[in-house]
A and B are shown apart, each in its own frame.
Chain A
Amino acid sequence: MSGDVSTAVRPTDAADGEDGRLSFDAVIIGAGHNGLTLGAYLARSGLSVGVFERRGEEGGGLCTEELTLPGFLHNVHANYHTFVGLAPAFRHLELTEEGLEYVRPEVQMASVFDDGQALCVHTDAERTHASIARISERDADTFRRLQAEARRYVDLMLETFMYGPPVGINDLTKALVTFGLDKRSEFLEAKLRGSTIAQFLDRHFESDAVKAHLAFHAAICGYATDAKGLAIGFPLLVGKIDNWQLCLGGSHRLAHTLWRDLVRHGGLVHVQCDVARILVADGRAVGIELTDGREVQARQLVASSIDVEQTVGRLLAEDPSTAALRAKRSELRHPAWSLFSVHLALSEAPHYAAAAFDPDVDRAWVMNLGYSRVGDLIADWKAAREGRLPDPHPNAAVNSLFDTRDAPPGKFTGLLRQIVPAKPQNGSIESWDEVKDEYATRCIETWQRFAPNIQDAVIASAIDTPADIERKLTNMRDGDWMVGEIALDNLLDKRPLPELANYRTPVERLYMCGSTQHPHGFITFAPGYNALQVIAQDLDLEPWWRWV
């Protein structure tokens, strides 16, 4: 990176447009981490950047609020950060040098099973091996080989699958064959593109409990256990299974750090600015209009980090060049399932009955409460897709075990999160308002079954349903927390539609840079980073971030 660019602090030339209109080189719609990431890179490249955000603060899914009681900091959405240190943005934007701190709990994840047994994934692979071996020695050895293999190629896989333009699944499988990967690897093979994660697990593992734990881990990454083709992504997930990190002070700190970097390099985030229209002249994006009627000029580009429905259907409603895309709106893939969260203020940390089997479960971060067989997960996916409320098997996390700043002294924050239908009883998403209290009680009861002290420890609770997700983040329609289903035919060069997959749109200088794009949602920074590569090509920007 050129030193000049990285250190330059420029006052923004925000108001020098014609007619006194706000004017920027780059206008970005939505201040989630993808919009902010793209903005920060562009600002470091010398462009004046304005990011326009509907809500009252930046961050999108990186949102930390005192939902229950003052002093209890709850990550409303993204809690688990799994790309820390892996995403190029950490290096290029020097995020951790800005005071951003993460903790990587030693006991990353644990499953507590119905029979009182438990299994832990540690940052120390040997300890993970020992934990799995208590359930199945053969599976412990298999997992060790799988993890070792996946770790060897995780960098290449990240570069190939995430931090670069999407590749086609056919090219990918052809290359697997050309390079003889089927023969070199015990786990990577071309036929994974036709396999579910459940099938992959059945092929390689013997114990129900071990398979359930691994399927659980993929599920909280948004990978359905029974979706054909998703096995192809499973080795990559395993390659970073021990990189689950907690953002100290709350996930919003990351958003704040990105914002600070943007501002330091001359950019601005305008909050409470609902974008109503993208202005197009002669087939080229030239600005935006806000719902209050104000117009903002974009001298070089507009990038949208929000959903396709809004971008094409609402913001470009009158634009003829995107009419064909509007006609394809029904082809946009959103899952029928979403996430239901119960945030808790606790007077004490959970003590698990399974600690008698393995005391480490009491200091584990991400907990699987009771999925004991892969079939349990498949039943939940099925229920969610059919609009039924599954018997809760929530994942649980107590961040205060690792971050004492997120609760008053001696107190704890807790999180329960369950896979649920976006629309219960196949009704409207609003029908969540009627069933949420009872379902939250059932989730807490499940926790109580495994941690008998928890019910008495609850001081206050706050519920976040799929309906609440959509109300807060309008781009996550129907509570679609991935902003586009994770399914083989909605990934790579097919996401979100083949016509939009390379971050460009039919409108010149209008780009898509959010989770609708390859690879998918999650705090990956990848859609913003990948859109940057395309923008850099089109604008002939010096790619200071490459090859560093």
Chain B
Amino acid sequence: MAEVFSTAWLAQWAELINSDESLPDHAPPGLWRIYLRIEGDSASPYVPQDESLHLLLHLEDGRCTKLERGAGPPGPRDLDFRFSGPAAVFEQVAAGQRDPVDAGLEGDIKIAGDMGFLLRHAELVKEIVDLYVGRLETDWPKGKPPYGGEAVSAA
């Protein structure tokens, strides 16, 4: 188990993606660059308020070739999709407490990019999201969502 958003946690996620043998079957050929902007909010003890975590996920022919924290947001030419939203929402999704599709539909996680592509490859998207939600074992040393006042002030 690794702490949410830590380097070890990201490595574990990448490993999960690459151990899924059916992914390359659903994946479009080529490199797809996905950027997750996880925005600090008053609730999350893992991302300070007014700061953001910049996670970069590269999928090449259905294989994860990069999953790491960036120093800042990538330039507009260097990404194909952006998912952004409050850290507490991403954490709730990782903890299996919030349905990721609902979070996207309801606008809590904002999605930008070629939506047609996302729709055409809905199965791939769903598989990656399911890995994040269902099988990624996460350690929550500063408290697990949903956060009450105590978890936040403890941070």
Interface residues of A (CB under 8 A from B): 152-153, 155-156, 159-160, 164-168, 171-172, 174-175, 178-181, 184, 542-544, 546-547
Q: Which residue of chain B has its CB nearest to the CB of A548?
A: B76
A165 to B82, CA, bound (A): 17
Chain B residues numbered 98-112 whose CB sits less than 8 Å from any CB in chain A: 99, 101-102, 104-107, 110-112
Q: Which residue of chain A has its CB nearest to the CB of B120?
A: A171
A351 to B12, CA, bound (A): 69
**Which of A156, A166, A167, A543 touches B104 (beta carbons < 8 Å)?**
A156
Nearest-Cβ distance from residue A504 to partner chain B, whole angstroms:
15
- Would A547 and B76 count as touching, CB distance under 8 A? yes
Interface residues of B (CB under 8 A from A): 73, 76-77, 79, 82, 99, 101-102, 104-107, 110-112, 114-116, 118-120, 122-123, 126
A261 to B43, CA, bound (A): 41
Residues of chain B within 8 A (CB-CB) of A159 are: 111-112, 115
What are 12 A-B residue pairs whose CB atoms fall within 8 Å in the complex? A155-B107, A156-B104, A159-B111, A159-B112, A166-B116, A167-B116, A168-B116, A171-B119, A175-B119, A181-B101, A543-B76, A546-B76
Closest 10 CB pairs of A and B: A167-B116, A178-B122, A160-B115, A175-B122, A175-B119, A152-B106, A546-B76, A153-B105, A171-B119, A543-B76
Residues of chain B within 8 A (CB-CB) of A547 are: 73, 76, 79, 82, 112
Known: A156-B107, A184-B101, A542-B76. 17 other contacts (CB 8 A): A152-B105, A152-B107, A155-B110, A156-B111, A159-B115, A160-B116, A166-B116, A171-B116, A171-B119, A171-B120, A171-B122, A178-B123, A181-B101, A542-B77, A543-B77, A547-B73, A547-B76
A164 to B119, CA, bound (A): 12
A160 to B119, CA, bound (A): 9
Residues of chain B within 8 A (CB-CB) of A179 are: 101, 122, 126
Residues of chain A within 8 A (CB-CB) of B106 are: 152-153
Q: Which residue of chain B has its CB nearest to the CB of A546?
A: B76
- Would A164 and B114 count as touching, CB distance under 8 A? yes
- Would B115 and A167 count as touching, CB distance under 8 A? yes
A156 to B119, CA, bound (A): 12
Main secondary structure of the interface of B (DSSP, over half): helix
A175 to B79, CA, bound (A): 23
- Would A153 and B107 count as touching, CB distance under 8 A? yes
Residues of chain A within 8 A (CB-CB) of B114 are: 164-165
Residues of chain B within 8 A (CB-CB) of A178 are: 122-123, 126
Residues of chain B within 8 A (CB-CB) of A153 are: 105-107
A178 to B76, CA, bound (A): 29
Residues of chain B within 8 A (CB-CB) of A184 are: 99, 101-102, 105
Q: Which of A164, A175, A543 has the most CB of B within 10 A?
A: A175
Nearest-Cβ distance from residue A271 to partner chain B, whole angstroms:
34
* With contact pairs A542-B77, A543-B76, A544-B76 given, residues A164 and B107 touching in the complex (Cβ less than 8 Å): no
**Which of B76, B115, B120 touches A164 (beta carbons < 8 Å)?**
B115
Q: Which residue of chain A has its CB nearest to the CB of B112?
A: A547
Q: Which of B106, B114, B115, B120 has the most CB of A within 10 A?
A: B115
A172 to B106, CA, bound (A): 18
A230 to B82, CA, bound (A): 30
A241 to B116, CA, bound (A): 25
Residues of chain B within 8 A (CB-CB) of A172 are: 119
A167 to B77, CA, bound (A): 22
A542 to B77, CA, bound (A): 7
Nearest-Cβ distance from residue B87 to partner chain A, whole angstroms:
19
Nearest-Cβ distance from residue B131 to partner chain A, whole angstroms:
15
Residues of chain A within 8 A (CB-CB) of B123 are: 178
A546 to B116, CA, bound (A): 16
Q: Which residue of chain B has its CB nearest to the CB of A185?
A: B105
Q: Which residue of chain A has its CB nearest to the CB of B104?
A: A156
A171 to B114, CA, bound (A): 13
A155 to B82, CA, bound (A): 15
* With contact pairs A179-B126, A184-B102, A546-B76 given, residues A167 and B119 touching in the complex (Cβ less than 8 Å): yes
Nearest-Cβ distance from residue B77 to partner chain A, whole angstroms:
7
Residues of chain A within 8 A (CB-CB) of B120 are: 167-168, 171, 175
Q: Which residue of chain A has its CB nearest to the CB of B100?
A: A179
